[in-house]
């Protein structure tokens, strides 16, 4: 006799549950028992799909990096539209208004997770590294269109924007900064390079 119903897209259900826990309780609240309870499934479900909890967390982070890559394509396509500062403000708000800040805390808190991510090819602090590449690519596209100065150091601007964005959003416990506050920081960073 079956003991339960089949769960469709188990990974997605577990990842979404882990994201909710991260946003509500931070990295210390994230345990395999908490994830499966939040997902509404038996603890064994997680261990049937992942070798161990750190393997699950590594896949969670890699999944969220994939979402940043999707966001990067959207941002790159926005080159030449609106203003550079408006596009960057939206990108930072979308990025850090999601689970990215909590993921950074998670990666920082777990040595084994960092090791696994580096073994999988991630460098630096995963999520932030990918976000920096997203911004640098966008700025390069804007530079190619003449909307960013030809001599602008897009890599340094991208690093600065990601660092400032992370500081703006970190530690706010779900209360995002106002769009105007983000825009003010963005415009001060890109003022010399944007046209």
The one-digit pLDDT tens for each residue of the chain (195 residues) are 344 444 558 889 999 999 999 888 888 899 999 999 999 998 889 989 999 999 999 999 999 888 899 999 999 999 999 999 999 999 999 998 778 888 888 888 888 888 888 888 877 788 899 999 999 999 999 999 999 999 999 999 999 999 999 999 887 666 788 999 999 999 999 986 665
What is residue 175's predicted lDDT score, i.e. its pLDDT? 78
By residue range, what is the domain housing residue 98?
62-190
| C-alpha to C-alpha distances, 71 to 47, 54, 107, 135, 186, nearest whole angstrom | 30, 26, 21, 10, 18
By CB atoms closer than 10 A (0-12, 13-18, 19+), residue 49 is middle
What is residue 150's predicted lDDT score, i.e. its pLDDT? 94
Reported for 131-134, long-range contacts at CB under 8 A and 24+ positions apart, including other chains, are: 131/68, 131/95, 131/100, 131/162, 132/158, 132/159, 132/162, 133/72, 133/158, 134/68, 134/69, 134/71, 134/72, 134/75, 134/91, 134/95, 134/158
CATH number at residue 153: 1.10.357
Asked if residue 106 belongs to a domain, the reply is: yes
What is residue 174's predicted lDDT score, i.e. its pLDDT? 65
Asked if residue 56 belongs to a domain, the reply is: no
Residue reference for tokens 């995963």 = 126
Asked if residue 52 belongs to a domain, the reply is: no
Compute the C-alpha angle 170/182/88, nearest 5°. 105
Count of domains for the chain: 1
Asked if residue 30 belongs to a domain, the reply is: no
Asked if residue 39 belongs to a domain, the reply is: no
What is residue 54's predicted lDDT score, i.e. its pLDDT? 92
Asked if residue 35 belongs to a domain, the reply is: no
What is residue 56's predicted lDDT score, i.e. its pLDDT? 94
Asked if residue 36 belongs to a domain, the reply is: no
Asked if residue 26 belongs to a domain, the reply is: no
């Amino acid at each position: 006799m079956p003991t339960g119903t089949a769960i469709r897209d188990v990974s997605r259900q577990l990842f979404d549950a882990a994201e909710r826990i991260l946003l509500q309780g931070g990295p210390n609240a994230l345990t395999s028992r908490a994830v499966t309870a939040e997902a509404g499934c038996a603890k064994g479900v997680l261990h049937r799909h992942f070798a161990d909890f750190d393997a699950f967390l590594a896949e969670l982070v890699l999944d969220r990096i994939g979402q940043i890559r999707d966001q990067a394509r959207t941002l790159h396509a926005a080159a030449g539209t609106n203003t550079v500062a408006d596009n960057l403000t939206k990108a930072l708000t979308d990025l850090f208004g999601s689970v990215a800040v909590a993921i950074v805390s998670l990666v920082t808190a777990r040595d084994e997770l960092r090791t696994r991510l580096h073994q999988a090819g991630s460098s630096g602090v995963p999520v932030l590294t990918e976000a920096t590449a997203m911004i640098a690519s966008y700025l390069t596209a804007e530079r190619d269109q003449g909307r960013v100065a030809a001599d602008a150091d897009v890599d340094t601007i991208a690093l600065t924007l990601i660092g400032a964005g992370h500081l703006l959003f970190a530690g706010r416990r779900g209360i995002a900064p106002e769009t105007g506050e983000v825009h003010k920081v963005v415009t001060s960073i890109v003022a010399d390079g944007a046209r």
